Chains A and B, each alone.
Chain A
Amino acid sequence: MPLFLTEEQTMLRDSARQFVGDTAPVAHLRGLRDAADPVGFSPTLWKQFAEMGFAAILIPEADGGLGLGHVEAGVVLEEIGRNLTPSPFLSTAVGAVTALRHAGQGLRSHWFGRIAQGEAVAALAIDESAKHRPEQIALTAVRAGNGFALSGTKRFVTHGHVADLIIVAARTEGQPGTRDGITLFALDKGAAGLSARPERLADASLAATLEFDRVELTADQVIGEVGQGWAVLSALLSATRTAASAELLGVGGGAMDMTTAYLKDRKQFGVPIGSFQALQHRAAHLYCEMEVARAAVLKAQQLLDAGDAGAERAALVAKAMTGLATTLAVQEGVQMHGGIGMTDEYDIGFFMKRARVLAEAFGDANWAADSLARMGGY
């Protein structure tokens, strides 16, 4: 498969670009932030996303979805990133759907239709510390009745305070630091013993700390096999890392577009500042970094869609590379805008804040590079 978008994928990108650009440009985020919106995204907009078919992209056709792939999901995510649109797309349409694709028929028929129709929003409860360390999962799931009881704390759970479905990674056996003994659960909203404390992050998004105090679940809520959840978690994380990479591409691309437009427009010493070689070289270098990152993301998406064994590594490369490239894009963006780039009134700072949050999510560039090194045996 050639490493560029097919005609159909380009058409999808164009319609996503128009839709997201029209309905949720950066002003939409600004409005939610200024209103101190307690949800973190617009449920009305999410419903429209679903009407466009976006929420069903990764849901198999047999389950009533579109049966498309990570390339298509990424095309939508890039536009979400470009417009800094607060959206449950990543956690719901990519993360939860990927996990549920490994679930039994009961969970699939319970959730897929609702997700596709924009009636259910999902959150991913994985991290427990300030840095992404999935092997360190300590939240316990002990047998209780014909099911399990969860106890512990999850952090950095985007939409965790409003989600209808929470995918929880828990430990049914073993010690933190091991991959065996992890089990994934599909938890419903409002379970007894579950409390959520949302915190607003630097980018105005809301991430919850979830406290589990003997939250009871039935055996039907297990995704995959008890104690064998690492494989599903790993698939979920590769998908979400790749998805976050696609969103980062959009954030970096949006920042770069703003910046190059500014370089052409802004005059100093009687000429556009973009005519200065010092700035041209930095802008051209940034372009190269973004293009290399773009290729890495598409590679990861294609390998995920092909079920290729190299997908996990490719997802790590994509996450690290987009983390590095987009961080550069937003830093150069603010710097090249000069003083105006430091003002809240101007949008470039919003790109910097979102990039920071996404670069941290599901493992930052250092963590991803370290994981590659371990896989490479060094």
Chain B
Amino acid sequence: MTDLDTFRAETRAWLEENCPPAMRQPIASEDDVVWGGRKAKLTPDQRLWLDRMAARGWTVPDWPVAYGGGGLSPEQTKILREEMARLKCRSPLQSFGISMLGPALLKYGNEAQKLRFLPEIARGEIRWCQGYSEPNAGSDLAGLQTWAEDRGDHFVVSGQKVWTSYADKADWIFCLVRTSREAKQGGISFLLFDMDSPGVSTKPILLISGYSPFCETFFDNVKVPKDQLVHQVNKGWDVAKYLLGHEREMISGMGLGGGGLGSGGPAALAEEAKRAAGVEADGRLADPLLRAQIALFEVRERAFRAMSERFIDELKHGRAHPAQPSMMKYYGTELNKARYELVMAAGGADALEWESEASHGGAKARAWLRTKANSIEGGTSEIQLNIVAKHILNLPGA
């Protein structure tokens, strides 16, 4: 038995013993997702599962132990994920701290910042939001205007952000601010601060899903200590770009179904469709065109799964093209939107219910509508295609 085989056996045994049965059920609705933070209300099973995983550093298995991680190798991390998938263990913690800020701090944070912020991210103690977009700076992100005035030992921040995901539920924000007006990208800094600071206010935006995951966020003379500046003044764009790469990877992962409602794969979609549309004598779904759509979706999903595997392998070996996350983000989000169109088609009238108990409060319809943002947030599909055209195909500038 190799070391990895031993690791797999031990991991499997530990998960079987420590993952509560309720945490092996599929996620039924957005309310079921554990985001952590000071305001989080966890069920006892959610709390137990999060604490047990965090104690081993397995909420962030590949981070160094000193920062609250598990210190696992890429191979061990892959095994952990495979074994979790095998037992249908839920992810113990969904977190922008893990998927976005953490990697940026690991690369650009100073030692004091790493020791201060990373362990609490790993334990899910602080829920983070991302202050990037502004009313006139979405796809043209570098056009942002929120101003941070240097006052010696601190900054004073004023301005407005928009599309701030879960700002009303977040404890802290990682925020792009302008510290110089002389250069567009070269005048931006990357600040971390507490959403409870005086001068911060948020206003949820009601979306087509009936939810308000996004907010408008206002800063009115917010005082931010200098030791909460990441990297250097006016060098925030480097951090932002690096973080965006991770955000795009995270979003492209949705192409594989994530843990969401369509994650049972094409066969589960087809089962749902059989319940709604019936079955032919030979066992086939009695809606030949829907069946064909699911089948062609299965082709793309499996092919994209291979693409994701290849991308991770290339990343691990330092061979990935820097524009590759754009390609993954584009394809993954378009695929996820296609998945949820099929979720709706397979469910028929049942999937359209908006409030009933049977529909978990219209979970499918709301999730379907939510996916429409996938190709807008984190850089629109069109921006990703621009990046592929320019940096991979080397097509000329317009």
Contact = CB atoms under 8 A, between A and B. Distances in A.
Interface stretch (B16-24, B201-209, B287-295): B287-295
Interface stretch (B131-139, B171-179, B241-249, B267-275): B267-275
A104 to B, nearest CB: 36
Nearest to A368: B299
Contacts of B314: 2, 4
Contact of A287 (B304, B319, B392): B392
Interface stretch (A17-25, A214-222, A275-283): A275-283
A4 B394 CA distance: 23
A287 B393 contact: yes
Q: Which of B273, B331, B395 has the most CB of A within 10 A?
A: B395
A102 interface: no
A299 to B, nearest CB: 4
B385 A281 contact: yes
Interface stretch (A34-42, A154-162, A290-298, A338-346): A290-298
Contacts of B4: none
21 contacts: A3-B309, A4-B314, A260-B393, A280-B390, A288-B330, A291-B307, A293-B303, A296-B303, A296-B307, A298-B310, A314-B306, A317-B306, A318-B303, A320-B296, A372-B298, A373-B266, A373-B294, A376-B270, A377-B267, A377-B270, A378-B271
Interface residues of chain B: helix, strand, loop or mixed (majority) = helix
B313 interface: yes
Contact of B396 (A274, A287, A293): A274
B395 A283 contact: yes
B274 A283 contact: no
Contacts of A287: 327, 388, 392-393
A281 B383 CA distance: 9
B152 interface: no
B295 A373 contact: yes
B395 A372 contact: no
A238 B182 CA distance: 61
B300 A292 contact: yes
A285 interface: yes
B283 interface: yes
B341 to A, nearest CB: 17
Given A288-B327, A368-B299, A281 B310 contact: no
A291 B304 CA distance: 9
B294 A292 contact: no
Contacts of A281: 382, 385-386, 389
A186 B132 CA distance: 67
Contacts of B292: 366, 369-370
A127 to B, nearest CB: 21
B397 interface: yes
A372 B300 CA distance: 12
Contacts of B388: 284, 287-288
A56 to B, nearest CB: 28
B148 interface: no
Interface in A325-352: none
User: How large, as a class, is the contact surface on chain A?
Assistant: 35 or more
A64 interface: no
B317 interface: yes
Interface string A261-285: 0011000000110111101110111
B398 interface: yes
A217 to B, nearest CB: 35
Contacts of A366: 292, 296
A3 B306 contact: yes
Interface in B198-242: none
A230 B283 CA distance: 23
B202 to A, nearest CB: 35
Contacts of B386: 277, 280-281, 284
B393 A373 contact: no
User: How large, as a class, is the contact surface on chain B?
Assistant: 35 or more
B306 A298 contact: yes
Interface in B343-393: 382, 384-386, 388-390, 392-393
B181 interface: no
Contact of B389 (A272, A280, A316, A374): A280
A47 interface: no
Contact of B295 (A285, A314, A369): A369
A280 B385 contact: yes
A324 interface: yes
Interface residues of chain A: helix, strand, loop or mixed (majority) = helix
Given A2-B317, A378-B273, 9 more contacts: A2-B314, A283-B393, A298-B306, A317-B299, A324-B299, A373-B295, A377-B283, A378-B271, A378-B291
Contact of A372 (B295, B382, B397): B295
A313 interface: yes
Contact of A280 (B271, B294, B310, B395): B395
B395 A260 contact: yes
A321 interface: yes
Contacts of A2: 313-314, 316-317
Contacts of A291: 307, 327
B56 interface: no
Contacts of B284: 373-374, 378
A291 B395 CA distance: 18
A276 B309 contact: no
Contacts of B393: 260, 280, 283-284, 287
B285 interface: yes
B389 A292 contact: no
Given A369-B292, A377-B267, A292 B396 contact: no
Contacts of B270: 373, 376-378
B302 interface: yes
A317 B307 CA distance: 12
Interface in A1-22: 2-4
B389 A299 contact: no
A177 to B, nearest CB: 11
Contacts of A369: 292, 295-296, 298-299
Interface in A241-268: 260, 263-264
A324 B299 CA distance: 10
B298 A373 contact: yes
Contacts of B390: 280
Given A275-B396, A285-B385, A287-B392, A295 B299 contact: no
A277 B398 CA distance: 7
Interface in B144-168: none
A316 B296 CA distance: 11
A281 B380 CA distance: 12
A97 interface: no
Nearest to B392: A287
B271 to A, nearest CB: 7
B295 A276 contact: no
Contacts of A279: 395
Contacts of A314: 302, 306
Contact of B309 (A264, A295, A313): A295
Q: Which 4 A-B pairs have the closest CB atoms?
A: A378-B270, A280-B389, A296-B303, A284-B388
A359 interface: no
